[in-house]
Amino acid sequence: MGFVSAPDVDAWLRGGGSVVAASERAARAVKAAFHRDRRAEGLTAWPAPQALDWKSFARSAWADRGGDGLLLLNPMQEESLWCCIIRDSGHTAGWTEPPRRRLAQLAMEAHELLCAHAPHLLRPTARSAWQQDHGAFSGWLTAFDDACRADGLLSTSRVPLELLSLLENQVGGRPPLVLAGFDRLLPIQQKVFDAWAEWRSIAPGEPAEAIRFYSAANEQAELSACALWCSRYLAGKPLARVLVVAHDAGQRRGEIERAFLKPGGGAQPLRFEFSLGVPLLNVGLARAASLLLRWLDDSLEEHEVDWLLGNGTGAARPEEAAALQTVMRGLRRKGLQRTRWTLNAFVRQRAGSAALPSAWVERMARAQKRLEATPQTQSPLEWAGLVPQLLETMGWPGRTSPTSAEFQAISRWQQAVDSCGSLGFDSRTMTWSEFRSTLERALAETLYSAESQDAPIQIAGPAESAGLSADAIWFLGADEGAWPGSGRTHPLLPIDVQRSARMPHASPQLDWELAESITTRLLAAAPEVIFSYANQKEGVETRCSRVVAAIAGTPRPLPSELAPDSPREPLTVAFEDRELVPVPAAPPVVPAARLKKSTAQLSLFDDGAVQPAAMQVHEMPGGSNVLTAQSQCAFKAFATTRLGAQDWDLAEAGLTASQRGQLLHAVLHAVWGGPMHRGIRTFTELQELGPDLRVFVEEHVQRVLAEEMPAAAREQMQPRYLELEEKRLVRLVTEWLEYERTREPFTVEATEEDANPTIAGLTLKLRLDRLDRLNNGSLLVIDYKSGNVATKSWELPRPDDVQLPLYAAFGLDRENETGGLVFAKVRTGNLCFAGKVRDAAATLDSSLDRKSGLVKDPLTPEQLSEWKEAIAQLARDFLDGRADVDPRDYPTTCDRCGLYSLCRVKERDDEEEPEDEENGWEAGDE
């Protein structure tokens, strides 16, 4: 049928001739080249060129020739029809909808393959010998044809066959065509073009003058070299166009984007475009619309709410968006996070002072009412009509004048909604949630790419590159495993049918021929062509593609000028900041009392951390955590206390460990709270409870759960789960009190006791779990722990936890001797005290043997004074503004802290030898 030269195609289009391209992408490329030429001629307006992709051409030619008596099914309608047929066939009894839908998609593909490659097999009698899965598909295909005939429907795959029949019955009168970008013509395409009239293909260009084939050490080096080469090439030829071909461009999209945005060698980010789009559901506006619709009658996961409110879509004004984000932050600061949020629960929550914008609440409520007032079941068309109304009520898309890209996304979104609405073609009805799920699936399956900006670098897969030409081409991934690309034969068609009809991937020979044809086409599409492959992929050795090697010769190693920068340009500049920013001075005040009812306040400072009678006192929230953080990492203390930095706790499906701990503390506080809390206070009272101990505990647990259980937990969790939590708590507290019955006599002096000691000018608000008066009159400081703790955390010089040493050293009245400080480990199977006691066997538990840590390692006055000095030094460091990024135990300390993004400890020079803990501390202390 002949060829037309590429330069003549422009004259052909200018003369009103038509071009049929293999794909939408190839048709766009033809039009883009035409427009570029017109602009280069200085024109400002010109007639649009006639360039259509194959499917559009076949559809319009069929419709022009009287094919409009049938309803042409769109992909969603056709899939839905196949789904019904497969379900009614009984082959998928017991299947859920998603696998049945996947089977329907396979059936659609098989049907399309038959139409394109072996239309004679569309006759049922030609398939009579098909067995098993193939036989089942044959039955579905017969039912599909019957349904289409009965209802006047037509599959898109049948359009070329219908067109062929019309062409064969109408002779002449058809303008010649030029074909672009066909690597090979399918049998049906060949027949249609032959029946059409005269047609020609665009002649292949001159073979490339420069062909190179490189091998790189790995995929990263290969990609970096490609980006660097593109950057240099375009720097030398600013008007040139480069085509990058990558067979896995879709999967490696992020990696490719990063490489081209940072091409190395100090080059500027490159302008590039991918030929393949992204799922519409991943496009911000479409995702926001989908979430807003779901929120009206269903819950959203917390990260979805976070994204939706942070995204600003749905907020009428920037201030409204900021207010919504403030509420979300407030929720987390108050620990009110949930795994899922219904709209009603979100609107009802109270996250402190920040309130939800009333206009937003009112709009959401109106949309919800609008939906509730709609019949529960109606046609998809009616639901599709309701969607824009609901979104408009909610304020989507949130901006009065969308950008061009947003406008395109909105229009693509509306097309997806309309496609779902078209499912009413068979008079079905559905519920709102069914329609919503269908829409979400359509959004996930629809690929979207914004209109081309004619970027100088185009990135495409080998097949999508058909019809594209450039000044230079770089083909990535030319290794034996990837090129020729291999695929699987179709499971619903007999293998001999696929082979004889030469369907894709029916034999390795076919894959080889296609790869050869694409490679040859690429070699004629640019004067300069570079192939490359990585010697190693995911740690596995690879070999070069034999198809490419046969044309381009043996690969050579990447030239040194394309080697990745070594080392990479640093993103940050190291700057050693030795400056200290002290805590701002507060007005002089007389030091606060260290313990309620204390009578000897000032004399407490006579130990070296001496304070004048009137001094600068700085009150800090956060209790002992300030000094614990200062000891763990000075920057952590600075960031959490002075900058208010905070890591988020993720919401959990059940009660969090922290919520469980709080409930346990509350129950023990009530139990030992004395008559005011209907509790007890002494060892004797505990013994007197006798067998009623469990009943006593149950009453307290029930009361505490009724008063303290977080509202969100009550709303979200099953009553049965809460019952189990109650039983667990009763058992644990009962066991603990049984254990306390074995102690030496004691009296509980205080529970949840507040103290405000001032340490070297820093006033802290402390709250102690419990203070016991022991049988020798001394005081025992107790901290309840339900997690795993060890007294090792108190060890100097950098204690990991200063709470109890701090309280024992500064929180107690001097008149009272400190008898010990202990963790009360309230854990099933491991109930015990752990800590330091002056005389544990005499005052705590006479059954302790000499090997027990409590006996072996008693509390001494020296130990107390060492803690006192170390803690006072921590307070001074904090007030002086010492904020070194110096974790006590990297990375364990950092993993518990979570402020990585703020302190950027991970960006420290990895080469740096880690200093030993003590030296690091002392060096910074100078």
Task: List residues near ligand SF4 by CB under 6 A.
Answer: 632-633, 635-636, 639, 885, 887, 893-894, 897, 899-900, 903, 905
User: Of the two residues 288 and 894, which places its CB atom closer to ligand SF4 in the complex?
Assistant: 894
Q: Distance between CA 104 and CA 578 in Å, rounded?
A: 67
One DSSP character per residue, 149-208 reads HHHTEE-GGGHHHHHHHHHHHS-S----EEEES-SS--HHHHHHHHHHS-EEEEPP-PPP
User: Of the two residues 443 and 899, which places its CB atom closer to ligand SF4 in the complex?
Assistant: 899
Mention every residue, 6+ apart, whose C-beta is less than 8 A from residue 377: 429, 430, 431
Q: Distance between CA 369 and CA 566 in Å, rounded?
A: 62
- Other Cβ atoms less than 10 A from the Cβ of 305: the count is 22
CB of 639 to ligand SF4, least distance (A): 6
Largest CA distance in the chain: 117
Q: Distance between CA 143 and CA 82 in Å, rounded?
A: 9
One DSSP character per residue, 513-526 reads HHHHHHHHHHHTS-
One DSSP character per residue, 768-781 reads EEEEEE-TTS-EEE
CB of 890 to ligand SF4, least distance (A): 7
Distance of alpha carbon 419 from the chain centroid: 28
| Kind and range of the H or E run holding 236 | helix 219-236
Q: Distance between CA 846 and CA 812 in Å, rounded?
A: 26
Q: Distance between CA 872 and CA 762 in Å, rounded?
A: 9
Half-sphere exposure in the Cβ direction for 688 (13 Å, CA): 7
Q: What angle do CA 569, 573, 575 make, to 5 degrees?
A: 155
Compute the CA torsion angle 493, 77, 300, 251 (nearest 10 deg): 40
Q: Distance between CA 702 and CA 727 in Å, rounded?
A: 10
Coil, helix or strand for 758?
Answer: strand
Distance of alpha carbon 378 from the chain centroid: 35
DSSP, res 642: I
Coil, helix or strand for 229?
Answer: helix
User: Of the two residues 231 and 631, which places its CB atom closer to ligand SF4 in the complex?
Assistant: 631
Total count of residues recorded for the chain: 926
CB of 624 to ligand SF4, least distance (A): 17
User: Of the two residues 634 and 766, which places its CB atom closer to ligand SF4 in the complex?
Assistant: 634
Q: Distance between CA 201 and CA 83 in Å, rounded?
A: 39
DSSP, res 874: H
User: Of the two residues 688 and 925, which places its CB atom closer to ligand SF4 in the complex?
Assistant: 925
CB of 892 to ligand SF4, least distance (A): 9
CB of 894 to ligand SF4, least distance (A): 3
User: Of the two residues 568 and 896, which places its CB atom closer to ligand SF4 in the complex?
Assistant: 896
CB of 646 to ligand SF4, least distance (A): 12
* Three-class HEC string of 411-468: HHHHHHHHHHHHHHHHCCCEEHHHHHHHHHHHHHHCEECCCCCCCCEEEECCCCCCCC
Compute the CA torsion angle 241, 247, 251, 254 (nearest 10 deg): -30
Mention every residue, 6+ apart, whose C-beta is less than 8 A from residue 565: 264, 265
Which of 378, 368, 394, 369 minimizes the C-alpha distance to 432? 378
CB of 325 to ligand SF4, least distance (A): 24
Q: Are 759 and 610 in contact (CB under 8 A)?
A: no
- Other Cβ atoms less than 10 A from the Cβ of 606: the count is 10
- Other Cβ atoms less than 10 A from the Cβ of 436: the count is 20
